[in-house]
Amino acid sequence: MSTNQPSILLVEDEENLHESLKLNLELEGYQVTSAWNGLEAVKAVQNEYFDLIVLDIMLPEMDGLTVMETIRIQNNEVPILILSARNTSADRVLGLKKGADDYLTKPFNLEELMLRVSKLIEKNKKLQDKETIGDTYTFGNNKVDFKAQEATTKNGEKIQLSKKEAMLLKLLIENKNEVVTREKILQAVWGYNVYPTTRTIDNFILNFRKYFEEDSRNPRYFHSVRGVGYKYSE
């Protein structure tokens, strides 16, 4: 299910505008998922990875600001572009305060919307592409060779890593001391847009502890952050 097309969640309850935006975004090469109310939007974000959310403020079931707060509380940093008929500076400030990355008032110029969408997706991609580490990495008595998919464990034993193990190790190490969300891991390593069970990642983390930790019950390097994701620290 991996795709190179950036994925956008479009949250807009006005049918004609929704269909017009969806068509134009798809023509630009984006993969668009539709949500027609606030609850649908929150559910979609919990089940799928998105590169951007285009979010109307006036929505049935749950308004756009509440949707945004709910998403941000879950530590999800997905870029959010607000579309709103409210055009006072107080409304804009409130929207940005609640976690929006950009704010566009209706009626808007379609070309301007497309430009803002493209810029937000590009900016997000740059943030996600962290400075990469080299082909080999050493920590404690452990050494990892990502290219050869090999590691030397704490006991000096050479082991073969699976491709997914090497990718996950690299992702965690490149984000050293930062929590990497389960969503980001599943998207980056497995390439899923719709997530499978996260037990898969748990098993990988348990393996890493077995290979690399002096005491796997009290890990120094590989940590699980309950309800959020995983962290590599030194």
Q: Mind listing the pLDDT tens digit for each residue in 112-159? A: 999 999 999 988 877 666 556 778 999 999 999 988 999 999 888 999
Q: Are 190 and 204 in contact, with CB atoms under 8 Å apart?
A: no
Give the CATH number for residue 226: 1.10.10.10
Burial of 7 (0-12, 13-18, 19+ CB in 10 A): middle
Residue found by looking up tokens 């599943």 in the block: 186
Q: Are residues 184 and 91 in the same domain?
A: no
**Total count of domains within the chain:** 2
Q: Are residues 29 and 121 in the same domain?
A: yes
Strand partners, 232: 222
**Residue 1: inside a domain, yes or no?**
no
Q: How confident is the model at residue 65 (pLDDT cuts 50, 70, 90)?
A: very high
Q: Are residues 51 and 149 in the same domain?
A: no
pLDDT score at 2: 40
**Cα(91)–Cα(85) distance, rounded to whole angstroms?**
10
Q: Are residues 113 and 198 in the same domain?
A: no
Q: Mind listing the pLDDT tens digit for each residue in 159-211? A: 999 988 999 999 999 888 889 888 788 777 877 655 556 678 889 999 999 99
Q: Are residues 63 and 172 in the same domain?
A: no
Amino acid (1-letter code) at residue 233: S
Which one of 128, 150, 171 terminates a domain?
Answer: 128
**Residue 2: inside a domain, yes or no?**
no
Which one of 128, 161, 181 terminates a domain?
Answer: 128
Q: Are residues 150 and 191 in the same domain?
A: yes
Amino acid (1-letter code) at residue 55: L
**Cα(102)–Cα(116) distance, rounded to whole angstroms?**
8
Q: Are 43 and 25 in contact, with CB atoms under 8 Å apart?
A: no
**Residue 73: inside a domain, yes or no?**
yes
| pTM metric for this prediction | 0.60
pLDDT score at 161: 93
Q: Are residues 150 and 204 in the same domain?
A: yes
Q: Are residues 121 and 218 in the same domain?
A: no
Residue found by looking up tokens 């950009």 in the block: 102
Q: Are residues 106 and 140 in the same domain?
A: no
Count of beta carbons in the 10 Å neighbourhood of residue 43: 12
Strand partners, 142: 139
Q: How confident is the model at residue 1 (pLDDT cuts 50, 70, 90)?
A: very low
Report percent pLDDT > 90 for the chain. Answer: 57
Q: Are residues 182 and 86 in the same domain?
A: no
Which one of 128, 153, 170 terminates a domain?
Answer: 128
Distances from the Cα of 81 to the Cα of 8, 119, 155, 204, angstroms: 11, 11, 50, 35
pLDDT score at 197: 65
| Lowest-confidence segment of 8-12, 86-90, 132-136 by average pLDDT | 132-136
Domain that residue 90 falls in: 7-128
